[in-house]
Chains A and B, each alone.
Chain A
Amino acid sequence: MSDEIRALTARLAEEPTSLAFLELGEALRWRGQYEAAAKVARGGLSRYPGLADAHDLVARILSDQGDLAGAFDAWADALRLDPMRTSALKGLAFLYFRAGDPAAALEHLQRAAEVDPDDRSIPAAIARIRGESAPAAAAPGPLPTPPPAMSVPPDSPFARLSEGEYGLLLVDADGLRLGGQLPTPDGGEAGDRVAAELAGVAREASRATRLLGLGSWDSIAMETPGAFLVLVPPSPETVLLAARDPSTPMARLGLLAERAARAARAWLEGTA
């Protein structure tokens, strides 16, 4: 059990009526402990049935677990309680899109864009649904915040991840993209260009750790002003890159990379 989860569990035990269940449920969800996260979230929801955050948390967990109907109901409840809730609007848009109803998905995203015009992930998601490129920003900035897992191809290595494949890139030993998408700060996509460089990174990392007696490398974390990036090797022949804007703590991005690497490994074994 991590220190964070231990502390949150202790806080909730001391104050069962506190809102600590929101943080604890989310922390468990991030670690892939969905059953435990659902138990915590439902416990909190039973005490706070009028709290939109609690419904939102339940929806995210159910979406992770693949219970899309349950997630739909939970996001609908969150939206009923808080009609300006963009996370619920984006979540419902994702579910509509998955269900093959892009018009309804666009309607929800447009409502989300009206509520939060500064959320750059929303126009990007709208553009993706329309099959267009996202509008370019005036100057390079941070990476766009990932939208809900939208339009993930069913054969994607990351099809089962709730985050989708946005900001995730799986690359083979030849520097070719196996799956994923990598946004650029200006709304473009750099997957193939970055993939070509990543094959060399894995070789350099292996050489450095071997010759310095550090053993096998298991991750590279890189901080830039506009994005945090984590590289992990799901297999000896592949490299996975996870990228997020710097508002995502690096340690959390590391956890996402590990989850994505597990998904990639399962996908690689299934396609071998």
Chain B
Amino acid sequence: MTPAAMVLDRVTRVPGVRGALLASAEDGLVVAEQLMDGVDGRAAAALTGALVGRLLRTAGAAGLEPPQFVHLRADGGSLLAAPAADGLVLIAVAGPEANIGLARLELLDAAGQLG
């Protein structure tokens, strides 16, 4: 199992997480993914990449360093993102029942390992 596959495996073991993927933050290309049926990895990567890019600019405008973790919460679930090294971003798609606290810790740890 590759290092990327190992970290994705850890993230997807969190209850309620429907999938995880590693993508290029700049162009949204998927590097590795581990997704349940029905989760569109390419769309998740592209959309999250665009959002994280915008948040990077927002943080810069506020005089802050780039975000380490982003949690987009919606009424049907959550999108979690943790920027990693080399312009990559680790993304998780979670259902409304997910343990977000645990998923956050796993994502941050995994992003650190990838660095």
Chain A residues in contact with chain B, CB under 8 A? 140, 143, 182, 184-186, 188, 190, 193-194, 196-198, 200-201, 204-205, 207-209, 211-227, 229, 243
Contacts and interface: CB of A to CB of B under 8 A. Distances in A.
Contact of A222 (B38, B67, B74, B78): B67
Given A205-B51, A224-B66, A212 B61 contact: no
B47 A212 contact: yes
Interface SS of chain B: mixed
B70 A184 contact: no
Contacts of B72: 205, 208-209, 217, 219-220
B86 interface: no
A218 B62 CA distance: 22
Nearest to A182: B62
A214 B74 contact: yes
A215 B75 contact: yes
A135 to B, nearest CB: 15
B55 interface: yes
Interface in B54-86: 54-55, 57-59, 61-79
Contacts of A223: 67-70
28 contacts: A140-B65, A143-B64, A186-B63, A188-B63, A190-B61, A197-B57, A200-B54, A204-B50, A204-B51, A204-B54, A207-B47, A208-B72, A209-B79, A212-B44, A212-B47, A212-B93, A214-B78, A216-B74, A216-B75, A218-B75, A219-B72, A220-B72, A221-B70, A222-B58, A223-B69, A224-B68, A226-B64, A229-B58
Given A221-B73, A226-B64, 17 more contacts: A185-B63, A190-B62, A194-B58, A201-B55, A208-B51, A209-B72, A209-B74, A212-B93, A213-B76, A214-B75, A214-B77, A216-B74, A220-B71, A223-B67, A223-B69, A225-B65, A227-B62
A39 to B, nearest CB: 31
B31 interface: no
Interface string B95-114: 00000000000000000000
Given A211-B47, A222-B70, A201 B62 contact: no
A212 B39 CA distance: 7
Contacts, number: 120
A211 B62 contact: no
A197 B55 CA distance: 8
Contacts of B70: 220-223
A220 B73 contact: yes
A194 B69 contact: no
B40 interface: yes
A208 B65 contact: no
A216 B75 CA distance: 6
B42 to A, nearest CB: 11
A197 B61 contact: yes
B12 interface: no
Contacts of A211: 40, 43, 47
A211 B61 CA distance: 28
A197 B58 contact: yes
Contacts of A184: 62-64
Interface string B11-54: 00000000000000000000000000011100110011011001
A208 B47 contact: yes
A221 B78 CA distance: 11
A201 B56 CA distance: 10
A208 B62 contact: no
Contacts of A224: 59, 64-68
Indicate the member of A201, A209, A212, A229 with the most B CB atoms within 10 Å.
A212
